[in-house]
Structure 1
């Protein structure tokens, strides 16, 4: 790329305006309190992403990216991504203001970024979480205009995700289905980076889960965002004057039957088209403490190869290859932040959520020593950025319910198998 092109970039951005494809003022707000709450939450996430990129560009220059092994073209793409996030903020603010409500303001953040590689790896993770957040919120949105806007932003975040993942050596799109993520899980992950928020911001009606971390070194810096306790400034209070929690719950309940039915259909579709790992990687015998529920085992069909591992192709810029199905991992639950009594617990379930797959693996535990960690084998059928929870029951193939969650989500990159292109 010529230097003149980069020099002209700032002038081009200066001439751009933050266009609002939906004129909310002319249409009248017509927004329900549920929609407003979802918009405020989306804006909270977009403020986080926007600040994340602005801080990076105030810290790192083009030469820093080149020295780290990235190209000028990638640096240019990052600038466009940063502009996208600013545009998302402006559009969401306009939508909220159209309803006569004050938009939430940016918070104070702390990002574990020390150099260009840590910035790029964390950006890939955050973009994927953002995509999953919009998809997870979609069933609760009442306004068709807001749904269109959310879908447009989600598609943009998905493009960001693919570009960022490719830049760090991961498969840009490892799964034909994007993972929908519930608000409490997104809230738990986002709160990791929030130090404090303005007192004028309304409390969000979400609750953070008890923390969960993956033991050992993680290829994509996931260990840097292991969940932990959330600052009081961003934790919803039960005494909030506006009962948004009830509204969100009602919206979720309204869509439960539809979601469950859709899950049953799409799980079959996912099983047909997704890449399988070799079945042998998901088996276990009765002598081990880790058992894979039979409903979580995927079978090989003629349309898919049983499995050449492409972990080398999906390794990060550090040269580390992420684990694949059949690998054993250790999970470290933050028992001190949980109110659950584990004394009489003898079995828990490690639930992997990725794409349209929800796979629970039973783990025998000693309730008195659960804080020392749990070992589990990665099941077949999950790959790419995967969210891991510890749940009370086996929810394999079912609709995800956060009422079953004890700890999580931890984020882990899991290597896919090479897909077969034969029909």
Structure 2
């Protein structure tokens, strides 16, 4: 009798078998594979664009919004940018094999702790097709195999991209099975991945809050939680008004659809008095941001209504801003503790003691003094690229560059020592 296995198990098993070969690759071999992948994307741009047209056509039929269709669309220029992203990963330092610490014990044992690949990484995401390439490139650079499960909206695009990448690896030392794509668009394929203990070493979800929470709550495979960002900016009593206005505007309005954008602006009551609040919000009101305010009558400000706890607990990713007037730093800290998602938080103040308290007491992956939360990003931190922004505490936290995609191994050198 022939036992049938699912696509998920077949591809995860193939990736696991490729892991040993990945462990033997040198940095030069990995970089050559990434360069070859980049060349292949450019050489097969027309094929990728044709596959992408299938996704766009299907999206239009299903009523997908023009903005989402634009994010999904690929053309020669965008594919060139995706290929360039792979070449940028080539330029990044390879963390695999780096010595983290080295010491010799009194008994003569020499102990080294080194960075090693995690193994097989599952990535579940809803984003644009470029994430398929970015995630694969980062995983392969660190010697990991990757099992990708993208959203159904980009199914044809992702399938063609992975086909191109896998075929290109046949001319390199990297095994093509190091990249796998789950093409089953049924949600059951996601749920199956979540329980592939022994085949997947870790799962990284990238997408909206619903996706992330489904993975976190239902996975038995270890998860690195990323993404959800209810970020705050607290404008303290001593804040420089011009600086506060500039930071708040940038944190909310520069790109509201991303996880490091501000959702709630907390304003010290003393700063809010005598026109301070109106001056702070005026640029956003002018740009047609919708305001939801607690602490003043919504009618006092144009385009505003009263904020609720539900508002404070919502990640809008839109031109909608919560505003709360607080009595001081203590109330601001309490609010952030109650509604924050441990992503990015900012205080604008000229009071050094308040700044230090904020930086010390706020529990978040990134805390800022007098700078926009929009800087929580692997590129902005100098990592060159990131797999996501971790909001948890174990293994990795904050923007996850290449080092975050490694684990560690101890190597011990002796000359016959035995334990008594």
Q: Same fold (TM over 0.5)?
A: no
TM-score, with structure 1 as normaliser: 0.26
Pair member with larger Rg: 2
